[in-house]
């Protein structure tokens, strides 16, 4: 993977990276995580835009309403365990089978709860719309498969072997993209696209399990320990609430918009967020690869070096976000018109507002990793709940007057409050707030940023 990009790097930088096995491993793993979305992002997005054109704003709004309801309960499957399980496997690899077994047991129980709740909420919110209820029930079926694939992913991430997850996701995404094209060409009904979404998760799970087996690991070796499960939940419950809060301010706007306005307005908003949220994998990919190194750095580095590395981390996140946000703001309406068609013209204006959310999403993801390393998970929970509350309140007041544009402003404000402004509310988090504030100015302090990166690369391994 690294060799593929070596021709684009200065020889001095490439030499330093090659001399640093830790950096080399991080870069290769990040490359695989980017590849996870590189192929599926292009194919999936283009096919998704075609689906949106085919369905039209109203039916596309119904489809995304069902997706939003299902997404609200996905944290009950994840249970905030991913980073904790990865952290514990890195620290005590001999406990991996017990950790993975306990994680899977918890996730499977959570998947059954999430399935029931999603179907129940569908019945309550859409009592007179059988189609929407059926869509929700079909899509919620993915929870059962997610319990296994998320546990397998914990193992591969702990070994910095994201390529297996990448291959599995790409296989599933490409197969289902072909299926969706066929559905469009044969003028299939809306319900067929819900079945396709469920099949994609099923294929991903089966392929990932096959890779796990091929890498000389056995599912049968996992040990379901109730004591270990209890310990994991004791550590992860704040993250469960945090993830639920995150999903609320990711998707509650769509749910409220679908109920307080109409499905066509939701279709327009969903088209805008599809372009805006397309890039959210980038901070997740970077942080997933850097997270094990952050944990080790905190335990082995001086405080000065540790915070120096964190500043570089925040700066990378901000600089990457600016490189995405500014083109989206400038070209948003044109991109929407080309990709989705004239029916979605209003989505271009919504995109110009919602795109700025990506900056605070990136900073929030980086700070979340720092909070886990500092064992301040409860503050992360508080911040995300605060963001969710702000989102709901803002949507309640803005949707009746501004529709989808009001939902976009609610999302932007809630992301800023949760991932950035909330840092002012706790003394222990203010060092992170200071570093985040500095990173917001990274376009104006590029020489300082480049110097920090060079210093980091010049340090000997382990320093």
pLDDT in tens, 395-419: 999 999 999 999 999 999 999 999 9
Instruction: Please indicate, yes or no, if residue 124 is contained in any of the structural domains.
Output: yes
φ, ψ (nearest 5 deg) of residue 442: -60, -30
Q: Give the max Cα distance, the chain.
A: 65
Instruction: Please indicate, yes or no, if residue 15 is contained in any of the structural domains.
Output: yes
Span 166-188, pLDDT tens digits: 778 878 888 999 999 999 999 99
Span 215-230, pLDDT tens digits: 777 777 787 878 888 8
Instruction: Please indicate, yes or no, if residue 17 is contained in any of the structural domains.
Output: yes
Between CA 455 and CA 463 the distance in angstroms is 11
Span 333-355, pLDDT tens digits: 899 999 998 899 999 999 999 99
Percent of the chain with pLDDT over 70: 86
CA 406-409-413 angle, 5° bins: 140
Instruction: Please indicate, yes or no, if residue 241 is contained in any of the structural domains.
Output: yes
Between CA 345 and CA 49 the distance in angstroms is 13
Eight-class DSSP state of 376: -
Instruction: Please indicate, yes or no, if residue 402 is contained in any of the structural domains.
Output: yes
Between CA 376 and CA 390 the distance in angstroms is 22
Span 281-336, pLDDT tens digits: 888 877 776 766 676 767 666 777 778 888 888 998 999 999 999 999 999 889 99
Structural contact between residues 25 and 161, judged by C-beta atoms closer than 8 angstroms: no
Among 59-63, 100-104, 202-206, where is mean pLDDT lowest?
A: 100-104
Burial of 315 (0-12, 13-18, 19+ CB in 10 A): buried
Instruction: Please indicate, yes or no, if residue 463 is contained in any of the structural domains.
Output: no
**Sign of the torsion angle spanned by Cα atoms 146, 149, 154, 157:** negative
Instruction: Please indicate, yes or no, if residue 181 is contained in any of the structural domains.
Output: yes
Instruction: Please indicate, yes or no, if residue 405 is contained in any of the structural domains.
Output: yes
**Sign of the torsion angle spanned by Cα atoms 330, 333, 334, 338:** positive
**Sign of the torsion angle spanned by Cα atoms 41, 44, 46, 51:** negative
Domain count, the chain: 1
Domain that holds residue 194: 2-458
């Amino acid at each position: 993977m690294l060799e593929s990009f070596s021709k684009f790097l200065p020889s001095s930088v490439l030499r330093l990276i090659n001399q640093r096995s830790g950096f080399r491993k991080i870069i290769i793993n990040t490359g695989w995580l980017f590849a996870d979305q590189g192929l599926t992002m292009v194919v999936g997005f283009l096919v998704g835009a075609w689906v949106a054109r085919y369905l039209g704003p109203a039916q596309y709004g119904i489809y995304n309403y069902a997706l939003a309801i299902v997404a609200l309960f996905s944290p009950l499957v994840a249970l905030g365990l991913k980073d904790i399980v990865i952290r514990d496997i890195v620290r005590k690899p001999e406990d991996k089978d017990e950790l993975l077994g306990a994680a899977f047991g918890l996730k499977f129980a959570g998947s059954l709860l999430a399935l029931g709740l999603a179907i129940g909420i569908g019945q309550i919110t859409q009592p007179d719309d059988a189609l929407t209820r059926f869509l929700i029930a079909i899509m919620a079926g993915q929870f059962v498969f997610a319990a296994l694939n998320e546990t397998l992913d914990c193992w591969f991430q702990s070994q910095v072997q994201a390529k297996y997850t990448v291959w599995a996701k790409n296989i599933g995404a490409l197969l289902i993209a072909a299926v969706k094209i066929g559905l469009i060409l044969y003028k299939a009904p809306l319900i067929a696209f819900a079945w396709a979404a469920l099949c994609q998760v099923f294929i991903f799970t089966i392929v990932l399990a096959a890779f796990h087996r091929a890498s000389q690991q056995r599912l049968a070796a996992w040990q379901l320990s109730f004591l270990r499960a209890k310990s994991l939940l004791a550590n992860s419950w704040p993250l469960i609430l945090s993830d639920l809060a995150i999903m609320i301010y990711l998707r509650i706007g769509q749910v409220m918009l679908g109920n307080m306005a109409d499905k066509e307005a939701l279709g327009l908003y969903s088209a805008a967020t599809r372009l805006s949220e397309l890039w959210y994998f980038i901070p997740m990919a970077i942080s997933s690869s850097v997270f094990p190194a952050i944990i080790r750095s905190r335990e082995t580095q001086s405080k000065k070096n540790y915070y120096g590395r964190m500043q570089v981390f925040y700066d990378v996140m901000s600089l990457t976000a600016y490189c995405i946000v500014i083109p989206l703001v400038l070209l948003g309406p044109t991109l929407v018109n080309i990709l989705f068609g004239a029916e979605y013209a209003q989505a271009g204006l919504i995109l110009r507002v919602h795109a700025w959310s990506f900056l605070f999403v990136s900073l929030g993801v980086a700070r979340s990793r720092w909070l886990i390393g500092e064992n301040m998970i409860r503050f992360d929970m508080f911040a995300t709940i605060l963001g969710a509350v702000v989102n709901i309140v803002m949507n309640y007041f803005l949707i009746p007057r501004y529709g989808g544009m009001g939902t976009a402003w609610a999302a932007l404000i809630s992301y800023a409050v949760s991932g950035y402004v909330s840092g002012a509310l706790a003394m222990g988090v203010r060092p992170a707030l200071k570093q985040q504030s500095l990173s917001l100015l990274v376009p104006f302090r590029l020489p300082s940023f480049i110097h920090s990166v060079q210093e980091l690369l010049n340090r000997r391994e382990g320093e």
